[in-house]
Amino acid sequence: MILEYKCNNCNQYFKLKAFAKDRGELNLLKNKIVEKCAHCNTEQELILNNIRAKANSWIRFIYIVALVISIVISIIAYNLIEIENTKIHFRRYSFVFGLIFAIPFVIAVNLVALEKRAVKRFNHYYV
Ligand SMILES: [Zn+2]
């Protein structure tokens, strides 16, 4: 999750350096957040309720990452099984491959859900 604020002058969104899980925490951390806009150089005091949360951009690639991890581990596992020279046992190991493929996706689904929940919580709680 990243926090961003809108510049009052140029209406662009910028990433906030501070991090908090909700606006209440942000309020406790700093009672005054002054940011200098990177675009128009205007210094402004930010209004907490105007700061909003957004899902991290890596969350968009997480399924691709999960797929890559699954494939890589599967190849390694397949080679390990081959070293044992038990190609016939491939069927016996198929559940292992199923698990190997599923685990990164289960983790990915959970990370996406966590991120969405964190963003939602931040954006719904006003101070
Ligand atoms: Zn600006």
Secondary-structure percent of the chain, ordered helix, strand, coil, rounded to 5: 60, 15, 30
CA of 47 relative to ligand 1 center, distance in Å: 15
In whole angstroms, give the CA distance from residue 101 to residue 94: 11
Domain identity same for 17 and 68:
no
Which pLDDT score, from 0 to 100, does residue 29 have?
84
pLDDT of residue 85: 61
- Does residue 2 contact residue 60 with C-beta atoms inside 8 Å? no
Q: Residue 46 Cα, ligand 1 centroid: separation in angstroms?
A: 12
Task: For residues 26 and 80, state if they share a domain.
Answer: no
Residue ranges of the chain whose pLDDT lies below 50: none
pTM above 0.95, yes or no: no
The boundaries of the domain holding residue 64 are 57-124
Q: How far is the CA of 107 from the centre of ligand 1 (A)?
A: 38
**pLDDT value for 53:** 96
